[in-house]
Amino acid sequence: MTKWDLNNFKGIFVAMYSAYDDKGEVCTERVKQLARSYVGTGVKGLYVCGSSGEGILKTREERMKVLEAVMEEVGEELTILVHVGANSTKESVELARHAEMVGADAVSSVPAIYYRLSEHAVEKHWQEMIDSTSLPFIIYHIPQTTGFQLTQKLFKKMAAQEKVIGIKMSGESVFELQQFKANAGKEFLVYNGPDEQFLGGRMMGADGGIGGTYGVMPELFCQLEQLITEGKLAVAQELQFKINSIITKLLSYPSLYGACKYILSLRGIQTGNPRLPLLPVLEADYDSLTELNNKILTVIQKYRER
């Protein structure tokens, strides 16, 4: 048994986007507006400063500023998971301690990137974060970007600790997801990472999901979760296919995050452009993104009425 109520950590978590002003600087008012927009959609919480939030592209001070704004705006209403991973263990620990200080619910981290690290080095990196706070810790496994393949041996060792309550599984294999669940036990939380296979991940044992495209269609993922919970799998499959057609279109633009942020701007939520080297959308794409936004809103309305 863990000392945390794990029900607070199950469900749909939006991997929150960055929010900059027109000069590309972190804008706390826009951060708050974005965070506020997810309250009432049905999501359990937010995952702050992860891949979708451009955490790796921000300074330590910017990441702290973003988290403080999120906590001030919605910290009492949503469960807040914070990605604190950085290239140096020292900076990661500082971010973890800050997350605890401002009242976040859990911290999470990828392995350090750039250097090809041994398992022992990654274990030490994570352990320093785990030991630095009293918060629960969620492993972030995304080998296609970090270059580190988490073995089941190291995973089982980490998962045996009381503070390590879950893993954000962003690898592409639902078999691997199932193995993480099997090797850690029923209480250990597994979050599906690839949005396009949320249904598959849930069927293979995931307890919920953390995703970037959730940010422009949280209602659809909440509806998909409800259908799965109710055992309406044929309808769930139908909805997953509709979601995947949207994701396929989003991936056709210069950057996924640029496309998502532009869609939010059409709804009156200004978050600025993604930070280079992530690309903004092109003016030539505005019309098709407007059409895509209309499609998303139509699908949301359709499934609300079912």
User: Which residues are catalytic, by number?
Assistant: 140, 168
Place of tokens 């200080």: 101
**Nearest-10 crossing angle of helices 233-250, 256-266:** 100
Provide the 8-state DSSP code for 20.
B
Tokens (6 digits) for 188: 């250990």
For the CA atoms of 281, 34, 239, 249, the dihedral, rounded to the nearest 10 degrees, stands at 0
- How many angstroms separate the CA atoms of 43 and 221, rounded? 9
DSSP 254: S
Backbone angles phi, psi at 55, to 5 degrees: -55, -40
| Distance between CA atoms of residues 280 and 263, nearest Å | 12
Two structure tokens written together for 271: 């978050």
Q: What is the rounded CA–CA span in Å between residue 152 and residue 222?
A: 30
CA–CA separation, 131 vs 262, rounded Å?
40
If one counts every other C-beta atom within 10 angstroms of the C-beta of residue 17, the result is 24
DSSP-H helix ranges across the chain: 28-37, 60-74, 89-101, 119-132, 143-146, 152-159, 174-184, 198-203, 218-229, 233-250, 256-266, 286-304
Token reading at 55: 């955490």
